[in-house]
């Protein structure tokens, strides 16, 4: 369990190392307690410190598409912007991969995280990329990405799959091997992804 100290200023929780509001967080559970009043606080709002507010809206959009509930307070509990952003970005990636799997499964035969050749990493100490996020119709590799793309990873998949797609939920661009396509705005325009894959399957 982690805890953070805050002060309540203008109805917002503001980070303060000597504050009398303690926020406890443990695996998705959150409790906000006033040391001074010795009681739990409900419906408290955390002060947005930077870009985490915009990212949180994206996370909430993905959660809504998947029909799941998230508690934004869990992501805003840390007192520094970086920790908040890291936590939100991690789950944006996790939820986008889930969304992409459901989207692809509506139309295609999809295998998920299937190892397509034996990884020699534990023997050589080098990293081998042998598990694309998805394999569509046994022929197309699809990678879900929400941030920077490692070209070496794509080359690793390209050795096996001469055609593939790197899908972003929002804007995004990347360098891809020949025969691969970078697909942005997947959430806004899922039909574009379908068209891309249909073209690659021809």
DSSP 116-159: -S---HHHHSS------SEEETTTEEEEE-SS---HHHHHHHHT
Per the structure, the complete domain to which residue 117 belongs is given by 107-201
Q: Which of 139, 177, 149, 50 is nearest to 93 (CA)?
A: 149
- Number of domains, the chain: 2
Domain final residue, candidates 102, 133, 168: 102
Please indicate, yes or no, whether the overall pTM of this predicted structure exceeds 0.85. Answer: yes
28's tokens = 């998705």
Can you give the pLDDT at residue 120? Answer: 45
Burial class (CB in 10 A: 0-12, 13-18, 19+), 26: exposed
143's tokens = 């990678």
pLDDT tens for each residue of 170-180: 998 899 999 99
- C-beta of residue 6 within 8 angstroms of C-beta of residue 23: yes
- Same domain (yes/no): 139, 194: yes
pLDDT tens for each residue of 95-147: 999 999 999 999 999 999 866 655 444 444 555 546 899 999 999 999 999 99
- Same domain (yes/no): 116, 98: no
Domain final residue, candidates 84, 102, 120: 102
- Same domain (yes/no): 112, 186: yes
- Same domain (yes/no): 79, 115: no
Domain final residue, candidates 53, 84, 102: 102
Can you give the pLDDT at residue 70? Answer: 92
- Same domain (yes/no): 6, 84: yes
Can you give the pLDDT at residue 78? Answer: 95
């Amino acid at each position: 369990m982690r805890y953070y100290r805050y002060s309540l200023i203008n109805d917002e929780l503001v980070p303060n190392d000597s504050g009398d509001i303690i926020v406890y967080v443990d695996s998705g559970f959150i409790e906000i307690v006033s040391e001074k009043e010795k009681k739990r606080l409900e419906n408290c709002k955390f002060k947005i410190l930077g870009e985490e507010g915009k990212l949180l809206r994206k996370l909430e959009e993905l959660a809504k598409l998947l029909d799941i509930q998230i508690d934004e307070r869990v992501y805003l509990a840390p007192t520094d912007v970086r920790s908040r952003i890291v936590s939100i970005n991690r789950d944006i990636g996790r939820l986008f991969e889930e969304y992409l799997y459901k989207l692809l499964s509506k139309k295609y035969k999809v295998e998920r995280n299937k190892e397509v050749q034996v990884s020699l990493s534990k023997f050589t100490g080098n990293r081998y990329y042998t598990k694309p996020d998805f394999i569509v119709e046994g022929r197309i590799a699809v990678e879900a990405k929400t941030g920077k793309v490692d070209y070496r990873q794509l080359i690793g998949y390209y050795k096996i799959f001469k055609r593939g797609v790197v899908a972003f939920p929002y804007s995004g661009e990347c360098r891809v091997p020949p025969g691969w396509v970078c697909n942005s705005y997947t959430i806004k325009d899922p039909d574009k992804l379908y068209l891309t894959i249909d073209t690659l399957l021809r």
